[in-house]
């Protein structure tokens, strides 16, 4: 990589909820334009890590830098400005159900007053077409859409502001395999053609290999392995092996609580 500072840099990030330590010193650099996928079991803190970067949670310790600037020291106004170049696809899409689909897609544009409502609607239709949504759903309420469609609307909303960083929280969960692949291709497209830096969290290995330039595995609050997708299968890391093959036996003990 070049001398430019990494787009996103996490150093020794720790976060605990009460006694439960979720992140225990996460270190991760994401270069400009790179697509990194964080994998890990349910409840290993993947979502917490993303929320810390987004500023929705404040880590207990450590630093998070975006474009070389410490985001934890920012004033709320600076933070808001930074958010203008960040897109996020939420796990359950998190669409605003008080607004029609097109207003959901163009919400960021309207919030930042980048354009008027007519133009925003045109941009919304354009972005919807990118994710394979027809214009005739533009005036529906998000609640009238299927889960897969909601996810695509969420994706359209995330890319509508032309972000330089985009986060995907379980982009393929709950979709059929074909739709999952459509979403994977879209993410690759956004990453390569738009040039956005992408950080995805998933436990769908097929998806991870398709969209990631680099895969990092989070286990017990730490990144225990990181490398290109091709190395995943012969990493020699027992934890990673167990995870990608979905075995119940191995070093990862599933805490089965009553």
Which helix (H) or strand (E) segment is 34 a member of?
none
Q: Which is nearer to other proteins, 150 or 207 (CB)?
A: 150
Query: Would you count residue 107 as binding other proteins (CB under 8 A)?
Result: yes
Question: At its nearest, how many Å lie between other proteins and the CB of residue 46?
Answer: 15
Task: Using alpha carbons, list the distances in angstroms from residue 62 to 33, 69, 77, 177, 221.
Answer: 24, 14, 22, 38, 13
Could you say which residues in the range 35-54 bind other proteins, by CB under 8 A? 51, 54
One residue of 26, 88, 131, 182 binding other proteins per CB under 8 A: 88
Q: Which stretch binds other proteins (CB under 8 A): 38-46, 80-88, 131-139, 228-236?
A: 80-88
Q: Which is nearer to other proteins, 4 or 56 (CB)?
A: 56
CA angle 199, 205, 206 (to 5 degrees): 100
One residue of 6, 40, 87, 148 binding other proteins per CB under 8 A: 87
One residue of 61, 70, 73, 80 binding other proteins per CB under 8 A: 80
For the chain, the 3-state helix, strand and coil shares in percent, each to the nearest 5, are 40, 25, 35
In three-state secondary structure terms, 227 is strand
Q: How far is CA 133 from the centre of its chain?
A: 21
Task: Using alpha carbons, list the distances in angstroms from residue 71 to 8, 82, 249.
Answer: 10, 9, 40
Size of the site for other proteins (CB under 8 A): 26
Q: Which is nearer to other proteins, 94 or 115 (CB)?
A: 94
Q: Which is nearer to other proteins, 51 or 203 (CB)?
A: 51
CA-closest candidate to residue 105, choices 83, 124, 92 = 124
Q: Which is nearer to other proteins, 81 or 134 (CB)?
A: 81
Q: Taking the alpha carbons of 10, 11, 15, 21 in that order, is the dihedral positive or negative?
A: positive
CB 52 within 8 A of CB 59: yes
Query: Would you count residue 84 as binding other proteins (CB under 8 A)?
Result: yes
Question: At its nearest, how many Å lie between other proteins and the CB of residue 24?
Answer: 23
Query: Would you count residue 214 as binding other proteins (CB under 8 A)?
Result: no
Q: Hey, what are 57's tokens?
A: 């949670």
Q: Hey, what are 202's tokens?
A: 């998933």
HEC per residue, 90-141: CCCCCCCCCCCHHHHHCHHHHHCCCCCHHHHHHHHHHHHHHCCCCHHHCCCC
Interface mask (CB under 8 A) for other proteins, residues 154-193, using x and -? Answer: ---x---x--------------------------------
One residue of 40, 45, 55, 100 binding other proteins per CB under 8 A: 55
Question: At its nearest, how many Å lie between other proteins and the CB of residue 72?
Answer: 15
Name the residues that contact other proteins, by CB under 8 A. Answer: 51, 54-56, 76, 80-81, 83-84, 86-88, 90-92, 94-98, 107-108, 111-112, 157, 161
């Amino acid at each position: 990589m070049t001398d430019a500072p990494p787009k996103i840099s996490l150093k020794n990030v720790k976060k605990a909820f009460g006694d439960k330590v979720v992140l225990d010193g996460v270190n991760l650099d994401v270069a400009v334009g790179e697509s990194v996928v964080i994998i890990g079991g349910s409840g290993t803190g993947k979502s917490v890590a993303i929320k810390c970067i987004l500023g929705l949670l404040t880590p207990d310790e450590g630093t998070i830098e975006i474009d070389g600037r410490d985001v934890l020291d920012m004033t709320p106004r600076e933070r808001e400005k930074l958010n203008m170049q960040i897109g996020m696809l939420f796990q359950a899409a998190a669409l605003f159900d008080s607004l029609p689909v097109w207003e959901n897609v163009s919400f960021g544009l309207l919030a930042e007053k980048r354009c008027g409502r007519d133009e925003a609607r045109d941009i919304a239709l354009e972005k919807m077409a990118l994710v394979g949504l027809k214009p005739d759903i533009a005036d529906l309420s998000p609640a009238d859409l299927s889960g897969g469609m909601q996810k695509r609307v969420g994706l359209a909303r995330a890319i509508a502001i032309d972000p330089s960083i985009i986060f995907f929280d379980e982009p393929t969960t709950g979709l059929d395999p074909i739709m999952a692949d459509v979403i994977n291709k879209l993410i690759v497209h956004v990453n390569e053609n738009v040039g956005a830096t992408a950080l995805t969290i998933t436990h769908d290995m097929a998806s991870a290999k398709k969209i990631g330039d680099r895969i990092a595995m989070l286990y017990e609050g730490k990144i225990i392995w990181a490398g290109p997708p091709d190395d995943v299968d012969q990493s020699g890391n027992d934890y990673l092996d167990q995870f990608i093959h979905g075995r119940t036996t191995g070093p990862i003990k599933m805490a089965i609580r009553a």
